Amino acid sequence: MSIIKNDNWLRESNDASIIKDAGHDGNALTIWHRQAEYDLISAVKEISDNSLPDVHWTGTLVGFSKWLDTHLMSIPHAHRDAMAVIADDIYELAKWFDSRCNASEYIFRCHRLDETMCPRFHTDRGPMRLFCTYRGKGTEWVPDTAVDYSLLKARGTKNSDIVPDPTMIQTVPNFAAAVLCGSDEHGKGGVVHRSPGVFESTNRFAFCMTLNF
């Protein structure tokens, strides 16, 4: 495994197997940095917005694979090859997350976003989730040392109260797969993150997978 960074709270690598240890031994954020293949980059660039799935789907990994196949057959023929490449990649990420969680059921979300979903810094509920942004700006996150956790759930606080130093805000790169622990899993309340700004979210496409807890 080629480790880029490992301070336990944050682990980064260009090796997929890092996903298998996400959330263990004090880890809150795991990022698998992927060098996307040319075919995938082209597919994401060329496919029409309407051909990309926009769905919340709950069920097994195998069931989701079948759903992706069904979606593939429902889109215009001209975009089918591109969607097949993207669907294969999504399924690959899903398999890695399943190798970590080994759950009987998940919630799979494919988002075509045209507005900011969660502009306020927050932690997610539940143990952990996997994110990958294929198109548009990625999820923004903040190291735990740069967060005032006491203000996270307080009423009336602004993002600049929760994260006083904006230079500490990081962005998960496109195609990287990030596993973020939520507030139930990590002692300090999980990874603080937010969706990117509205003007930067236009034409965004992201995949997210969580345990169905």
The site for Fe ion (CB under 5 A) is made up of 124
185-191 contacts, C-beta under 8 A, 24 or more apart = 185/23, 185/28, 185/126, 185/127, 185/128, 186/23, 186/26, 186/28, 188/28, 188/144, 188/149, 189/123, 189/149, 189/152, 190/28, 190/123, 190/124, 191/28, 191/29, 191/123, 191/124, 191/141, 191/144
Tell me how far, at minimum, the Cβ of 122 lies from Fe ion, in Å.
6
Which C-beta is closer to Fe ion: that of 65 or that of 116?
116
Name the closest residue to Fe ion (Cβ). 124
Which C-beta is closer to Fe ion: that of 63 or that of 119?
119
Which C-beta is closer to Fe ion: that of 14 or that of 157?
157
Which C-beta is closer to Fe ion: that of 51 or that of 121?
121
Tell me how far, at minimum, the Cβ of 145 lies from Fe ion, in Å.
20
Which C-beta is closer to Fe ion: that of 6 or that of 116?
116
Q: Do residues 110 and 205 lie in contact, with contact meaning Cβ atoms separated by under 8 Å?
A: yes
Residue type, 14: N
Distance CA 204, CA 52 (A): 10
Tell me how far, at minimum, the Cβ of 76 lies from Fe ion, in Å.
32
Tell me how far, at minimum, the Cβ of 7 lies from Fe ion, in Å.
22
Q: How many CB atoms are located within 10 Å of the residue 40 CB?
A: 17
Look at the alpha carbons of 166, 115, 157, 171 in this order and tell me if their dihedral is positive or negative: negative
Tell me how far, at minimum, the Cβ of 15 lies from Fe ion, in Å.
26
Which C-beta is closer to Fe ion: that of 51 or that of 210?
210
Tell me how far, at minimum, the Cβ of 131 lies from Fe ion, in Å.
9
CA distances from 185 to 23, 113, 142, 189, 191 (A): 8, 27, 17, 8, 10
